[in-house]
Structure 1
Amino acid sequence: MTEPLLDIDGLTVSFPGAPRPVVRDFSLRIARGQVVALVGESGSGKSVTVKAILRLIEFQGGRITAGQGWLHDGKGGRIDLFACSEPQMQKIRGNRIAMIFQEPMTSLNPVLTVGFQLREAVLRHQDVSRAEADRICLEALQQVRLSEPERRLTQYPHELSGGMRQRVMIAMALACKPDLLIADEPTTALDVTVQAEILALLRTIQAETGMAVLIITHDMGVVAEIAAHVQVMLHGDTIEHGPVQQVFDQPQQPYTRSLLDAAPKLGSAPPPPPRPPVAIPALEVCNLVLRYPVRRGLFGTHRANVHAVEDVSFAVAPGETLALVGESGCGKSSLARTILRLQTPQSGEIRLNGQNILGFDHTRMKAARRGIQMVFQDPYASLNPRKRVAEIIAEPLQIHGAGSAAEIRERVAALIARVGLPPEAAGRFPHEFSGGQRQRICIARAVALNPSVIIADEPVSALDVSIQASILDLIEEIQAEFNVAILFISHDMAVVEKVADRVAVMYQGELIEIGPRDAVLRTPAHAYTRQLLEAVPVPHPSLRRDRMPAPRQIVSPIHPVDAPPRGFVMEEVGPGHFLRRDKDS
């Protein structure tokens, strides 16, 4: 029989003022070296459960009212976590049980360097010198494939991208090689290639150290890729559990089946409908170049440039969706901000309905912005928490003088109904809505002015799979109704397949491949595109591969000020399917 590590029996967690416990009679068994997935939608009680295991829920007002949590030491002894004092728990947290939180920015101290925070965790739990602790920290950052690890140790969290911050959190959790790693949505914010590397890394470390993993996720692809056992939660109750193969093949509960059905699967989308050619694209980008200056030294001398967007060209027709894919830092969001004129490029053209908006003054640009709107990745951060929903949706209409007060009220009411929210939502504040409902509010605001172009920057990456499906359906309906062109930015290839007519792939600021959706996803011409597709999690555990992604060279986007542009041609490798080739290759 496999040696037990953690036994949770009858855990019940309550909050003051709540009519009923938020977690009820929860039980869980984790053996040494076992990977268990705890799945369910937002609000099902997953995060409360794992915070209760670490006794962190008490710092958030929660209270463990029943249950026992036995942590075994492998030598016949055990300790009840729910009966431990705080000093005892401090010795266990980060040492025997480590945790990776979902949002790394709120988990890292913004005024301390990455190196200081990593070193603090190591020195807290290991009897090593500072020099040895620094070596362990550097090794941990190298393990999670963070570029320029020596420099990252001296940086602050705000200087890193979201994916980089999550890798720092993973390195911090793994530095002390715990018996149990609790990972709360550890790959939600990561690109598919990085996600594949992190999952493979967790498997490798688990095999080497015998570490057990409790992974909390709503991504059934991650469950299929890594878990041996699955436990499904709904409204604080465990409704189903069992071996991963059994749960995928023979789910017993309708809710489990709905989770499996809602997950987008690569290769399952029907072919997109043919689109007639148009004379003038809704959006056309021509030879766009955006570079950020790198300043160093006492006087901030301009020493180098970050090539964020390098000679990029594409067009999007009315009613068409062009998906822009690539890893964090490849230039997707910089390109989107430049198209919106939130950043000024060094050269190139951005044509909105045939007019180059880079030459517009402030007055003309304000009028042009009626025709191009954006849906952001984080719906809560992009909504004013002090305004009611009706005010938020009405704001662009008021700014552009789109009707009288009565007409605006009527338009807002129609938009709220159109995105599937009840009429009473108009008087509520953003914090009173779920993530999916908040994204519906953002979509209503984006279409309020009947734009010809919408830029959707990772609009569903932070949402549960079932909510993702409804938001993607809504975007398709809105597009068909308003004939709007959509630039859909994403790193989820299965989502891209569901929504896109064409796909463009970016790497290191360059557009390396573009073409019809099925051509790019079925017969990718560039090695990097193939790498993105190979990293997509498998849809079923029977298809699981024992893979460790080949080490990739991490290329710096920083170039000398006088670096000449690289000559290239876009070679047609199929009907409408183009591949970037350097002229000197």
Structure 2
Amino acid sequence: MHDMALDTAHSTEALLSVRGLTVTLESEGKTRAILEDISFDLKPREILSVIGESGSGKTVLARALVSWLSAPLRVTSGEVLFSGSDLIADKAYAKSLAGREIAYVGGNPAGALDPTMTVGAQLVEKLRAVRPDISAADAKEKAIRLLGAVKIPSAERRYHEYPFQYSGGMMQRVMIVDALISDPALLIADNITQPLDVTVAAQILKLMRELNADFSTAILFICSSLPVACDAGDEVMVLHAGRVVERQSSANLVAKPEHTYTRQLIEELPTLWADDRKGRDTPPNRDQQAIMSVRGVAKYYATRGKTGKALVQAVRNVEFDVFPGDNFGIVGESGCGKSSLLRLLTGLERPDAGSIFFEGENVGEASSKRLRALRRHFQLVLQDPYGSLPPQSAIGSILEEPLKIHGIGDRKERRERARAAMSEVGLNEALYDSLPTGLSAGQRQRLNVARAMILEPRLLIMDETLSALDQTEQGKLLDLFERLQAQHGFTYIFISHDLTMVRRVCSRIAVMYLGETVEVAPNERLFFDPGHPYSRALLSAAPTLEERRYRPEDCLLEGEPPSPIDLPPGCAFASRCPHVFERCHKENPALTSRGNHALAACFLDSNTGAKDSIHD
């Protein structure tokens, strides 16, 4: 009786109470449970993290709580009580709360905003719809303040821009602002930090905690990263195969996990500073010709500034070499120029200055016909496992298309090579004639890898290839990359904001800030002895369960980066650097040698001024 009384009291205090929630999927005459007997409470000012692998039911849970489920999914039992009223039974009441008292934000911002309206106009429209008493001027002021709070550079100017002018990371931050702008009582955040770089993700978690404290907002924080879940939540609830298998405080969950699945998640976590490199820092053979060389590359985009047309300096004077067998990582915040550089490396755009050489041939000067031939030897694997595959084409056709484009093999040979590629990446050959719509995110990325590998390229360029996947799937794909590289001997460039993945797979790493390369170093050197304050800031923000080598309070960035339209004199990082001094505001430091093939662009380094170059 005493326990029951305690439960009742706890339920009365809760803003959200979920009791016995079961969601089923009906397919081909069969019914199976996606969520089974889910029960938990969430109080005002409480942040509850939900963690689980892909397919565990996390997103179905989020959508069930806001009454967004549709056939073939349906709630078959249970209650979702918000302030005592059942949202499952009262659909009209649930609809009236959406966007006002209950806000939802997901991890895929594509298509969520109207492309014909400016970002600011849409935020003001949303706020005034739920708060008719607020003036247009006050709504605009709040929207700009929140855009600045989530680190949108030049928030007042970008308020007037359209969604297509935002990067993917900035779009995600806009969707977070859209959810927070009405000061909701309950925020359901579904994988909101997964597409973001580590410093912005850290700022988002900080903003979320401030909202939680200032407005007593209850937050259900759903994610695929156990370290992020522990950083974000007061408690962590573990979902496995549609059931809650464990709920503990963050500290207790890590120190004393109770369930086998939780222990498995902890054991599978890649590390940042543990000594498990297994010789990955073996320097490349510099006696060989570089497979790709980047020399003084710059790219500018025209835009409208305060006084008319202006240029966005997206990429500035980038230089590095990638040697055969090298696993070369490129990291940096959203907006640092990674995506623009990717388009240049793959020949999708041509640089405005500098040169990019693939096996000695200038990619930027190649004709369209020659560039198509070159692309057989360097292939791109994109981030989005859903948008990068044609949904109406069968899997076999998707794999055979590159062979057709390059005139390789007859029909029988192409079919054999496609089936072999499927087998090699772990896809069942029985899926050959199926559409990709039935594949999971992990299976789709395996298909993308197979499509790139079928041409037997010498260089793979991977753009955030694993960022949309959960921790378990990421580990499986990284194992696949290592096996394929051992079998085929290809080289790859790995563009990512996830430092744990970069730590595991890359031999050398370039750090980009505001279009420039500010550090290039072997893996071990970058993580244990970074030469640039920005690199230390990235490492201090990386989610991990390890004891940190760099404290966030010493390294995390405040303020916003300068506008790439109007760069100040001197070092572009000076406005955010905790160690800035007078010289930094006058001169822009060049990449200089720190010894042992490590370079940094910082006046703090004792070796700055050395004669060595990027090509040492």
TM-score normalised by structure 2 residue count:
0.87
CA displacement 1:341-368 (0-9 Å, x = unmatched): 1101122222211222333223322222
Alignment of 1:60-209 (within 5 A): 62-72=73-83, 78-86=84-92, 88-126=93-131, 127-209=133-215
Q: Distance in 2 between matches of 1:336 and 1:361?
A: 19
Report deviation, 1:550: 4.5
Q: Does 1:519 align with 2:531?
A: no
Alignment of 1:335-374 (within 5 A): 335-374=341-380
Q: Does 1:291 align with 2:300?
A: yes
- Give the aligned partner of residue 564 of structure 2: 557
SS at match of 1:197: helix
Alignment of 1:164-563 (within 5 A): 164-268=170-274, 269-270=276-277, 271-272=279-280, 274=282, 275-294=284-303, 303-539=309-545, 549-559=556-566
Q: Does 1:571 align with 2:602?
A: no
CA displacement 1:274-315 (0-9 Å, x = unmatched): 244332111111111221223579xxx983221122111111
| Deviation larger for 102-111 or 575-584 | 575-584
Equivalent position amino acid for 1:555 in 2:
P
| Deviation larger for 205-214 or 62-71 | 62-71
Question: Does structure 1 conserve the Cα–Cα contact (< 8 Å) formed by 2:37 and 2:78?
Answer: yes
Equivalent position amino acid for 2:560 in 1:
Q
Q: Distance in 2 between matches of 1:513 and 1:391?
A: 42
Equivalent position to 1:8, from 15, 18, 32: 18
Equivalent position amino acid for 2:466 in 1:
V
Q: Distance in 2 between matches of 1:351 and 1:129?
A: 55
Question: Does structure 2 conserve the Cα–Cα contact (< 8 Å) formed by 1:224 and 1:541?
Answer: no
Report deviation, 1:231: 1.5
Q: Distance in 2 between matches of 1:158 and 1:193?
A: 23
Q: Distance in 1 between matches of 2:198 and 2:490?
A: 28
SS at match of 2:246: strand
- Give the aligned partner of residue 55 of structure 1: 67
Question: Does structure 1 conserve the Cα–Cα contact (< 8 Å) formed by 2:51 and 2:238?
Answer: yes
Task: Give unpaired runs (5+ residues) of structure 2.
Answer: 1-8, 573-586, 610-616
Report deviation, 1:547: 5.3
Task: Give unpaired runs (5+ residues) of structure 1.
Answer: 73-77
For residues 414 and 214 of structure 1, do their structure 2 counterparts lie closer, same or farther at Cα, with a shift above 3 Å needed? same
Q: Identity of counterpart residues, as a percentage?
A: 36
Question: Does structure 2 conserve the Cα–Cα contact (< 8 Å) formed by 1:225 and 1:544?
Answer: no
CA displacement 1:11-33 (0-9 Å, x = unmatched): 12234545123222111111221
Q: Distance in 1 between matches of 2:165 and 2:54?
A: 29
Equivalent position to 1:24, from 11, 17, 36: 36
For residues 543 and 578 of structure 1, do their structure 2 counterparts lie closer, same or farther at Cα, with a shift above 3 Å needed? closer
Equivalent position amino acid for 1:291 in 2:
Y
Q: Distance in 2 between matches of 1:136 and 1:5?
A: 26
Question: Does structure 2 conserve the Cα–Cα contact (< 8 Å) formed by 1:538 and 1:544?
Answer: no
Number of equivalenced pairs: 571
Report deviation, 1:451: 1.4
- Backbone CA RMSD of aligned residues: 2.7
Question: Does structure 2 conserve the Cα–Cα contact (< 8 Å) formed by 1:6 and 1:29?
Answer: yes
SS at match of 2:62: helix
- Give the aligned partner of residue 75 of structure 1: none
Equivalent position amino acid for 1:343 in 2:
E
Question: Does structure 2 conserve the Cα–Cα contact (< 8 Å) formed by 1:245 and 1:542?
Answer: no
For residues 260 and 288 of structure 1, do their structure 2 counterparts lie closer, same or farther at Cα, with a shift above 3 Å needed? same
For residues 421 and 124 of structure 1, do their structure 2 counterparts lie closer, same or farther at Cα, with a shift above 3 Å needed? same
Question: Does structure 2 conserve the Cα–Cα contact (< 8 Å) formed by 1:380 and 1:435?
Answer: yes
Q: Distance in 1 between matches of 2:431 and 2:260?
A: 29
For residues 547 and 538 of structure 1, do their structure 2 counterparts lie closer, same or farther at Cα, with a shift above 3 Å needed? farther
SS at match of 1:163: helix
